[in-house]
A and B are shown apart, each in its own frame.
Chain A
Amino acid sequence: MGKDVFEITVNILKMFVIFLMMVQAVPILVWLERRGSAFIQNRLGPNRVGPLGLLQLAADAVKFLFKEEFVPRQGVRFMYFFAPIMAMIPGALSFASLPLSVPIKIEPFQMLGQMWGPYTFAFQGYDLGIGIVFVLGISSLGVYSLLMAGWGSSNKYSLMGAVRASAQAISYELALSLSLVGILIVYGTFSFNEIVAAQTGPLTFRAFGAEHVISWLPNWGVFYQPLGALLFFSATFAEANRLPFDLPEAEGELVAGFHTEYAGFKLLMFFIGEYGHMMVASALLATFYLGGYNIPGVMPDDVLAFWQSAVGGNLASILTAVTFHLSLLLRIAILLWIFIQVRWTLPRFRYDQLMNLGWKSMLPWALFNVCVTALWVWFGHK
C-alpha cells in the first residue's frame, strides 16, 4: 500500500508542477514580450523594477490582485466569471499530456524503515496513448471561453470580437488538424512517446523501395513533412489569436475584442490561456517536427551512461531526464521567441484576407500535403 500512496502522491504533485510551470511561464513571457518588443522598436521597455526589470512581473501580479472589480451591469454574471476560468483549461490539459522528457527510473531504495520502489515516473502529466486527438479535442473547447466572454460582457465590441475570434479559431482548426495527417501517415501512431522515439538517430528514410541514411541530419519529422510543419506553425498563430492573426483584438475597430470588459487578474487569466496555447503549440511543433526531447546525434542511452559514470544510481536517471527536458525547453524557448518576434514584426491581416488564407490557401495546401505524403509513403514502402 505504501507503494501506491507514494506513486499517487508523485503523480498528483506532477499535475501541480505542470500547471504551475504553465502559470509561472506567463509572467516571464510577458516580460520577454515587453522587453523584446521594446528592443525591436528601439526602446528600453520595463527596466526600473529589479535587475533588468525582472521584478516588474511581481509588481504586475500584485497590481492585478488588488484591482477594483468592474462587472458590466447588464452582463450575464455566470458567464462573465466563468469565461476566464474556462480559458485556462485547454492549455493546462493539453500541456500535461505532452511528454517533456525521458521517464525517470527509480531503483528500489530504503526510506523510513521500508523498501520503496522500483518506480518509473513518466516525465509527463499523463499518457493517454491517444496523443494528438486528445489535444485537438481539448483545444477545440477553447472557443467556449471566447463566446462566453463575449456574451457575458453584454458589450457589442466584446461580442463582435468573440464571434470573429471563434470563426477564426474554427477555420484554422481545419488547416491545423489536416496538416497533422501527414505526420500520422509517416509514423502510423497517435502516441507522442512513439513519435518522439521514432525520431532518434540519423535521418533514415525509404524511397523507391530502398533505405537511405543521411548521417549528418537528425531523424526529425520536419524533414519528412516540411510543408506540414509550416502549415501547422502558421495555423497555431491563428489558434492562439496572435498577430498577424489578432483580428479579435483589433484595437482600431473593436477596442480590445472579447476581453474589453475584463480587468485585473481575470484579464491575466485570458493571457495565461493565450500563452498556454503558445507553449502547447511550441511543444507540439517540437514533438512532431523537431525531434521532441531528443538531442541530435546523441542516443538516450549514451546520456544515461554518461551520467551513470559521473554520479551513478538514481541520480543518474533523474539527471538524464533533466538533460533531455532542457533540450526540449530550449526548442520551446526558441519557438516562443519566434512567436514574439513575429508579433512585433508583421502587420495585421484584414478579415477577408485572414479567412481567404485559412480556407482557400492553407486548407488546399494541407490537403495537397496529405496526398503527396500518402503517395510518397506508398512508393517508398511498396
Chain B
Amino acid sequence: MSLSLNDILFYFLAGVAVLSALGVILQSNPIYCALSLALTMVSVAGLFASLSAWFVAGVQLIVYAGAVLVLFVMVLMLFDTKAEKRAFSKGIVSGFFKIASAAMIFAIAGGAASMSGDARFSKLTGIASATQSTKDLADLLFKKYLFSFEAMGALLLFIAIGAVALSRIQGGTHAD
C-alpha cells in the first residue's frame, strides 16, 4: 500500500489535530489547554483547506484561531488560575470529566472511522477555484439559508448587548 501526497498530508494534519485535542484534555495548565485548542483549530483549518474548502478554512483561522481562542487565552492569562489548576488536576470529579471527554473523543473518532466508507458521503467531483466555491457558498447563504443568515445577524446583536450588560454588573467573585 503506497501513500500518496494527499494521504500523507491528511494523516499529518489529522494527527496534529487529534494529538493537540488530546493535549487540551490531558494538560493541567489551562493556558496550555487553550493553546493546544488553538493548534487544533489551525490543523482543522488545514483539513478544510485540503478539501478545497478554502473560505471555510480561512474563516476557521480568522474566527476560531484568531478571535475566540485569543479571548480564551487572554482571560486565562489574566486570572490567577492556581485554584482552578488544582481543582482540574486532582479529584474524583475532574477525573470523571477527563475520562468522559476522552471517551467522547474516541467515540467520535470511531464513529467517523466506521462511517468513512459510507456511500452517503460521496467524494467531491470537480473542484472550482477558491473564489468560485465561495461564490457558490454565497448563493446558498444569501438565498436558500437567508432567514438563518439574517437571524444570525440579529443574534449577534443580542449577544453584543448582553455581553455589555453582563460586564456592567457589580459584585461576584472578582469585584473590586
Contact = CB atoms under 8 A, between A and B. Distances in A.
Interface of A: 79, 128-131, 133-134, 136-141, 143-144, 147-148, 150-151, 159, 162-163, 166, 170, 173, 177, 188-191, 194
7 contacts: A79-B31, A128-B130, A133-B58, A137-B59, A137-B61, A138-B61, A166-B70
A129 B131 contact: yes
Given A129-B54, A130-B58, A136-B62, A147 B70 contact: yes
Interface of B: 31, 35, 38, 42, 45, 49, 54-55, 57-62, 65-67, 70, 73-74, 77-78, 129-131, 134
A166 B49 CA distance: 27
Given A130-B58, A136-B62, A194-B131, A150 B77 contact: yes
Contacts, number: 83
Contact of B130 (A130, A144, A162): A130
Contact of A151 (B31, B38, B62, B131): B31
A137 B131 contact: no
Contacts of B62: 133, 136-137, 140, 177
Given A79-B31, A144-B70, A190-B55, 19 more contacts: A128-B130, A130-B54, A130-B57, A130-B58, A131-B130, A133-B55, A133-B59, A134-B54, A134-B58, A134-B61, A137-B58, A137-B65, A137-B66, A140-B61, A144-B35, A144-B73, A147-B77, A163-B74, A191-B130
Contact of B61 (A141, A143, A191): A141
A141 B60 CA distance: 12
Contacts of B130: 128-131, 190-191
A80 to B, nearest CB: 13
A138 to B, nearest CB: 7
A335 B42 CA distance: 31
A189 B131 CA distance: 6
Contacts of A190: 55, 130-131, 134
A234 to B, nearest CB: 20
A128 B78 CA distance: 37
A74 B77 CA distance: 15
Contacts of A138: 61
B173 to A, nearest CB: 20
Contact of A137 (B45, B70, B73, B74): B45
A143 B70 contact: yes
A78 to B, nearest CB: 8
Contacts of A173: 66
Contact of A128 (B45, B54, B77): B54
Contacts of B65: 137, 140-141
Contacts of A137: 45, 57-62, 65-66
Per CB-CB distance, the 9 closest pairs between chain A and chain B, nearest first, are A140-B66, A137-B61, A133-B58, A129-B130, A130-B54, A130-B130, A189-B131, A137-B62, A151-B77
Nearest to A136: B62
A190 B55 CA distance: 10
Contacts of A177: 62
Contacts of B60: 137
Contacts of A163: 74, 77-78
A137 B59 CA distance: 7
A10 B139 CA distance: 39
Q: Which of A130, A134, A173, A190 has the largest count of B CB atoms less than 10 A from its CB?
A: A130
